[in-house]
Amino acid sequence: MAPLDWVMVIGYFALLLGIAWWVILKNKDTADDYFLAGRNLGWFIVGASIFASNIGSEHLVGLAGSGCTDGVAMAHYELHAWCLLVLAWVFVPFYARSKVFTMPEFLEKRFNESSRWVLSVISLVAYVLTKVAVGIFAGGIVFRTLLPEVQLDIGVAVLDSFWIGSFLVIILTGIYTVLGGLRAVAYTEAIQTIILVAGSVLVTIFGLNALGGWGELQEICGSDMFNLWKPLIPEGYEGTWSPIKEGKQMAWYFNGNYPWLGMLFCAPIIGLWYWCTDQYIVQRALGAPNEQQARRGSIFAAFLKLLPVFIFIIPGMICFALAASGKMDVLRDNLYTGGELNPELSQAAFPLLVKHVLPAGVRGIVVAGLLAALMSSLSGVFNASSTLFTMDLYSKFRPQASQHQLVWTGRIVTTIMVIIGLAWVPVIQGAHGLYDYLQGVQGYLAPPIFVVFFLGVFFKRLNGAGCLAALIVGFVLGVFRLIVDTPVKLATSGFDVFAAYKDGYAEGSFLWIVNNIYFQYYSLFIFLVCVVVMVAVSYVTRSPDHYRITGLTYGTITDEHRRESRSSWTTRDVLASCLVLVLIIAAYLYFTG
């Protein structure tokens, strides 16, 4: 980091602080203003905020690292931008009509109060295990790569740059999130989106220039890394569409590499849960003043969501190409161990490019973009978590709480989430890769939520008893898998107390089978169980009252509802949505050999 780089970073923080302070001065001490920005966010702010919240640590570290090791295989997840169109056209009308603060609150209106509480607990657990802990971990990776020599002696221990970076990102993000609420989060995220995209584009441009151009990248990486489908088939079984095999035996339990069956069925489930029903994302749409602004913001976010393939995966591949070709020995030294590419070290592919490819000044802009992504994803989850706990749990136990008390409860919850997230970082360190870890945990926790929202909106016969049963059964199955996996990951991280699990469980045992079922297949198992449970329980109990769910399912929409929704969109909105689909198809065609 040259002096000019530090000037750029300081300038970024000054801009961020100024915006946050301006927003804080505008805030009113009410729950509606703190948690939903007074429902006054325009479509540009909604879309940019959704994108900035999504594009965080798992992309800067995990997605670029995946590009370095596996090529464009993980682009499958990023090309699920169409899921945002489902939010825009299917769910936004229901959310706008219901005027809810949270997704669990919508579930209460559609089903019952118990479902609201259970979903709140599941969501909070998911946020701690994924977004908070992953954000902290990625912040540490970035700082360790850019400033490896930084240390701090606190008496009882010496903190290296990984932990110093983790704490700094948490503290700086927590300050403006705790004080400013969703309005501060959304407005700062709009600025962060611009900085992040511009910085990442610069990394791609300078990286390709150092490598020798796009053609050189294709030649060094080879057709496999540029193929969305071929990397999904393990070596030795090229061209087969049967379930992945391990050794010479057919196996439904295995450790594979993105099998086609999982990508085809599991990835959309996780994508639709995340983009259409997760508080972390949908809260921005809830902050829009009306259905039109919420829909247009979601469509705008779908356009932005197409960028990560080119500004994160491709830089990861550039980093690999520069190292593998010998054009940058310093990158090879940082990525290879014993002549082989190290997946763990590859998590630093993006910050390594920033450090060694970019000139002074430009590097500072991109580092600001890195920090922007880390902070925006963390600020979003902090605000979503405080909203869930305060509005869905605390307000139920303290119905007489004042608006001031609700706001301060949200601030306290944010602080607690940070502490718990820090404690979970060692588990992530034991995972194969940050992006793999993230997709695995989401695969275990997402299916029951996806089931109750989608089936609940499309089938009016399903009731609260079925919803509650599906949520509980799915959550238990997901947590069971996490409990089974955790000792193995901690053993890999070097925790002596779990050393017995370094090689996993006894081969052939029940726990070994559970631990070795590919995460996407286990996710599909949870999904199917939840569908059966929800439908079966609903049909053996009484139908929901029609008046209670009016306007909350397609079967109970009135003519007035249809007219209101129809007046909120124009031909331009339809054409913009079609263009998103065309661009997705074009990307699939280009990256299919």
CA dihedral 41, 43, 46, 48 (to 10 degrees): -130
CB atoms near residue 436 (< 10 Å): 19
State how far the Cα of 63 lies from the Cα of 60, in Å rounded to an integer: 6
- Cβ contact 356:1 at 8 Å: no
Between 521 and 535, whose confidence is greater? Answer: 535
Q: Indicate whether 580 belongs to any domain.
A: yes
pLDDT digits (tens, 9 = 90+) for 352-410: 888 888 888 888 887 777 776 667 667 767 777 777 777 777 777 777 777 667 767 77
pLDDT the model gives residue 110: 92
* Radius of gyration of the chain from its Cα atoms, rounded to whole angstroms: 23
Dihedral sign for Cα 561, 562, 565, 567, please.
negative
Count of C-beta atoms within a 10 Å radius of residue 512: 15
Whether residue 433 has pLDDT greater than 50? yes
Rounded CA-CA distance 270/540 in Å is: 29
Q: Where is average pLDDT lowest: 81-90, 251-260, 545-554? A: 251-260
Is the confidence at residue 22, as pLDDT, over 60? yes
pLDDT bin (cut points 50, 70, 90) of residue 495 is low
- Position 183 pLDDT exceeds 90: no
Confidence of residue 579 (pLDDT cuts 50, 70, 90): very high
Q: Specify if 83 maps to a domain.
A: yes
143 is a domain residue: yes
Following DSSP, what letter does each residue of 544-592 receive, concatenated?
A: PPGGGGTTTSGGG--HHHHHHHHTT--HHHHHHHHHHHHHHHHHHHHT-
- Predicted pLDDT of residue 428: 54
How sure is the predictor about 229, in pLDDT bands with cuts at 50, 70 and 90?
low
Of the given ranges (171-180, 189-198, 235-244), which has the lowest mean pLDDT?
A: 235-244
Beta bridge partners of 337: 340
Q: Token pair of 385, please?
A: 């978590």
**What does the mean pLDDT of the chain come to?**
79
* Number of compact structural domains in the chain: 1
Mean pLDDT of 477-499: 75
Q: Is 239 contained in some domain?
A: no
Determine the pLDDT at residue 465. 95
Asked if the structure places residue 150 within a domain, the reply is yes
For residue 69, the enclosing domain spans 3-234+252-590
Residue 265 has a pLDDT of 82
Q: What is the mean pLDDT of residues 462-490?
A: 90
Could you tell me which residue, 530 or 222, shows the higher pLDDT? 530
Which residues are registered as beta bridge partners of 428?
A: none
What is residue 589's predicted lDDT score, i.e. its pLDDT? 87
Q: What is the mean pLDDT of residues 425-443?
A: 63
pLDDT at 250: 29
> What is residue 318's predicted lDDT score, i.e. its pLDDT?
92
Lowest mean pLDDT among 103-107, 118-122, 160-164, 587-591: 160-164
Q: What is the CATH number of the domain that holds 100?
A: 1.20.1730.10
Banded model confidence at residue 238, pLDDT cuts 50, 70, 90: very low
Give residue 243's pLDDT.
42
The DSSP bridge pattern shows strands 249-250 and 336-337 to be: unpaired
pLDDT over 70 (residue 254): no
75: pLDDT strictly greater than 70: yes
> According to the model, what pLDDT value does residue 578 have?
96
The verdict on residue 242 lying in a domain is no
Mean pLDDT, residues 211-222 taken together? 89
- In this prediction, residue 21 carries a pLDDT of 75
Whether residue 534 has pLDDT greater than 90:
yes
In this structure, is residue 285 part of a structural domain?
yes
Q: Percent of the chain at pLDDT above 90? A: 21
Decide which of 509 and 183 is more confident: 509
* pLDDT at 31 (0 to 100): 56
Q: Which of 37-46, 83-92, 120-129, 413-422 has the lowest mean pLDDT?
A: 413-422
Residue 368: the pLDDT is 76
State mean pLDDT over 99-117. 87
For residues 345 and 531, which has the higher predicted lDDT (pLDDT)?
Answer: 531
Whether residue 247 lies inside any domain: the answer is no
Q: Which H or E element spans position 10?
A: helix 3-26
Sign of CA dihedral 397, 401, 407, 409: negative
pTM, rounded to two decimals: 0.78
The pLDDT value given to residue 255 = 34
**More confident site: 296 or 386:** 296
Residue 216 clears pLDDT 60, i.e. is over it: yes
468, 112 contact by CB (below 8 A): yes
**pLDDT band, very low/low/confident/very high, at 176 (cuts 50, 70, 90):** low
Digit-coded pLDDT (tens) for 327-365: 888 888 888 887 788 777 787 888 888 888 888 888 888
Band the pLDDT of 208: cuts 50, 70, 90.
Answer: very high
Mean pLDDT of the region 513-537: 91
- Which of the residue ranges 13-27, 191-205, 281-295, 379-393 has the most confident prediction, judged by mean pLDDT? 281-295
User: Does position 257 have pLDDT exceeding 70, yes or no?
Assistant: no
Q: What's the pLDDT band for 263 if we cut at 50, 70, 90?
A: confident
SS3 annotation, 326-357:
CCCHHHHHHHEECCEECCCHHHHHHHHHHHHH
pLDDT at 588: 87
3-class secondary structure, 101: coil
Q: What is the rounded distance in angstroms from the CA atom of residue 499 to the CA atom of residue 80?
A: 39
Cα separations (Å) of 452 from 128, 211, 470, 532?
Answer: 22, 48, 7, 11
Alpha carbons within 13 angstroms on the beta-carbon side of residue 529 total 20
Give the mean model confidence (pLDDT) for residues 452-456: 95
More confident residue, 76 or 418: 76
Higher per-residue confidence, 313 vs 129: 313
